[in-house]
Every structure is written in C-alpha cells, then in structure tokens.
C-alpha cells in the first residue's frame, strides 16, 4: 500500500496557501512537521503532519491542501509520529503519549475552545455565543481547517489528560479530578501541591506530579 493509495481514504480536504506565514493557533504544532502514519499492518506513510485541536483531527499538507485523515483509515492506525512526539488512538481520539511505562500510561488530548466575536447586547455591552455554536459556524464553511482563523475569533487551548493506572483508564482536566484519582495518596498529593504549582496547560508539570505520586 503506497502513500498515494492512502489518500483514497480521506474524509475531506480544503485548499490553503502553502506560502503564507501564519500563526496556527488552533493547531498543536506551530507548522506542519515531517511525520509518519504507521498502520497496524506495518505500512508506514510519510507526510507533513499536524493536529487540529479545533476539529480534533489528524491532518496533513498534501501539495498545499490540508487533508484530514478519514474514518476508513482511523481504525487501521497504530501510531502517528510527528517530529519527536507519538500519538495513538484512545477512546476513538488521538492522544499524545507523555508516559509509557509497564505500570502506568499518561496521555494528553489537545483541545481548544473557539470564542466568536461578541454580539451587541443591552446597555451597550457585548455577549458571546457558546464554543459549540462558534465551532459549528466555522465548521460549516470549512474555516476550521484554514491555517488562520478570522482575526476576531479567540482560541483558548486546553488539555484533557488520560491516565491508565491499575489497568483503569481515567481522564482529568482539573486538579480536583486528579486528586480523586489519587485518593489513596491524599496526603502525598496535598503536600506536593503545597510546594509545587501544577499547571494543566503545562504537560511537563503534569508529568512531574504523576511521576512523583507513582514513585513515592
């Protein structure tokens, strides 16, 4: 199976200017990186890859077009390598591997909220629609696949972490949820948080606290 045949499984494609220098605010990497899509049958497909946190899809640049990997291919994927990072599929979503150990796995799912420009409201103020409405509006005409969103949209990235501990897969996106996962180490995590700031937007910060809890 060659790379060209891999394209037959694509779900959608949107042309963009490959020459334009833009800020990929809703993509995980600042630009498209050399990568490999490894299929479960061992076939490796080389591509310039990135991850769209707004549409939550793995995408690549094919001769100036942004192409999203289609549903027919997704079940066949083993691992996606982008630069020095590795992505796998967990709960039907792409997640990046942070810790891969015999006793514990830690993954991060990259997401973002898209906030549209404020609409006129009473008393001269503005109001903003929900992120769901915002996402639907730019998805309907393909703007979510553009390298650059309209200037009046705000992009707020956030992470959902997945922890495979004691053969149980659990997710957390707040420190409160993390404490519940480690309820058996309540004092330990409490002492750690008093001395260390854990930012859920900082993957290394989360990796450090997990390693500490698992090794103490």
C-alpha to C-alpha distance for 61 and 145, rounded to whole angstroms: 11
C-alpha to C-alpha distance for 128 and 120, rounded to whole angstroms: 9
Determine the 3-state secondary structure of 163 from DSSP: strand
Residuewise pLDDT in 10s, the chain (216 residues): 344 444 444 444 444 433 343 455 778 898 889 999 999 999 898 888 999 888 888 888 887 777 788 888 888 999 999 999 999 999 889 999 999 988 899 999 999 887 776 654 444 444 444 444 444 444 444 444 555 556 666 778 889 999 998 888 999 999 999 999 999 999 999 999 999 999 999 999 999 999 999 999
Q: What is the pLDDT of residue 24?
A: 59
Q: What is the pLDDT of residue 152?
A: 66
Q: What is the pLDDT of residue 149?
A: 59
CB under 8 A, 24+ apart: contacts of 167-175:
169/90, 169/91, 171/109, 173/200, 174/200, 175/200
What is the helix (H) or strand (E) element at residue 214, kind and residue range?
A: helix 203-214
Q: What is the pLDDT of residue 207?
A: 96
Determine the 3-state secondary structure of 151 from DSSP: coil
* Residue 148 and residue 91 in contact, taking contact as beta carbons nearer than 8 Å: no
Sketch the domain layout of the chain as residue ranges.
3-91
Kindly give the pairing relationship between strand 57-62 and strand 44-52.
antiparallel
Nearest residue to 116 (alpha-carbon basis) of 149, 73, 72? 149
Give me the torsion for CA of 7, 92, 101, 50, rounded to 10°. Answer: 40
The residues, any chain, with a CB within 8 Å of residue 13's CB and separated by 6 or more, are 62, 65, 66, 67, 68
Q: What is the pLDDT of residue 174?
A: 93
Determine the 3-state secondary structure of 10 from DSSP: coil
Q: What is the pLDDT of residue 114?
A: 74
Q: What is the pLDDT of residue 156?
A: 81
Kindly give the pairing relationship between strand 104-115 and strand 93-100.
antiparallel
């Amino acid at each position: 199976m060659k790379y060209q045949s891999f394209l037959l499984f694509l779900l959608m494609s949107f042309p963009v200017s490959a020459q334009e220098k833009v800020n990929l605010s809703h993509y995980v990497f600042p630009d498209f990186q050399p990568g490999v899509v490894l299929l479960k049958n061992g076939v490796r497909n080389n591509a310039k890859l990135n991850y769209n946190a707004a549409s939550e899809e793995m995408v690549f640049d094919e001769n100036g077009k942004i192409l999203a990997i289609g549903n027919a291919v997704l079940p066949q994927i083993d691992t996606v390598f982008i630069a020095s990072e590795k992505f796998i599929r967990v709960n039907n979503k792409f997640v990046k591997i942070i810790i891969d150990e015999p006793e514990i796995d830690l993954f991060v799912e990259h997401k973002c909220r898209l906030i549209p420009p404020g609409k006129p409201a009473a008393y001269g103020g503005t109001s903003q629609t929900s992120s769901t409405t915002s996402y639907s509006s730019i998805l309907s005409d393909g703007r979510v696949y553009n390298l650059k969103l309209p200037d009046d949209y705000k992009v707020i990235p956030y992470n959902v972490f997945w922890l495979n501990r004691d053969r149980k897969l659990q997710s957390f996106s707040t420190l409160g949820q993390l404490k519940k996962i480690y309820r058996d180490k309540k004092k330990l995590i409490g002492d750690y948080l008093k001395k260390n700031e854990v930012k859920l937007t900082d993957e290394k910060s989360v990796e450090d606290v997990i390693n500490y809890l698992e090794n103490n």
